[in-house]
Structure 1
Amino acid sequence: MDAQKIAKERCEKLLRMAREAYASDPALAKRYVFLARKLSMRHRISLGNAAYCKKCNTVFIPGATLKVRIAKGIRLNICLSCGLTRRIPFKH
């Protein structure tokens, strides 16, 4: 296996572990997201827009750490930890 494929699998595993760990230890979940981001930057891998907050490294769990609003063809993702708002356009 090449390094990028291994890194992508590891990033996915870290994000999955962050979602599972958030309920018991939010600081550990943030650390997992930080490590996944660092690994993805090193290997130039995209993690996706809706997985974590780019400002505070909080894993997005709808209802717990993320508020989603839809208005006029725009989806608003609002981080409940730091308040960062991301606007993502979509088609009806």
Structure 2
Amino acid sequence: MGVIYKERNAFVIRTEEGPIGEITYIPKDEHTWVADHTYVAPHYRGGNIAQRLLKRLAEEARAEGAKIIPQCSYVGVQFRRNPEYEDVWKH
């Protein structure tokens, strides 16, 4: 549901009604990003919106050769639960 767009230091999912979720990051240096915020509109929570956003962030980090510091609690939990993010996780 919805299309993911890159907007500055964020990935946003939009539908015809507008944005329904976002994940943001702050570049700490050239190869390190701090994932600092994930939001999904209340009506869309419990689905896969946040998961899709995190996967897109990880894909971008891989493409850029960056590592992610999970400051956002959602990202931290997902990094600990899912080995698929080990390659982009800066411990």
The TM-score bracket by the shorter chain reads 0.3 to 0.5
Q: Whose RCO is larger (CA < 8 A, sep 6+)?
A: 2
Which one has the largest radius of gyration? Answer: 1
Flag the structure with higher strand content: 2
TM-score, reference length from structure 2: 0.39
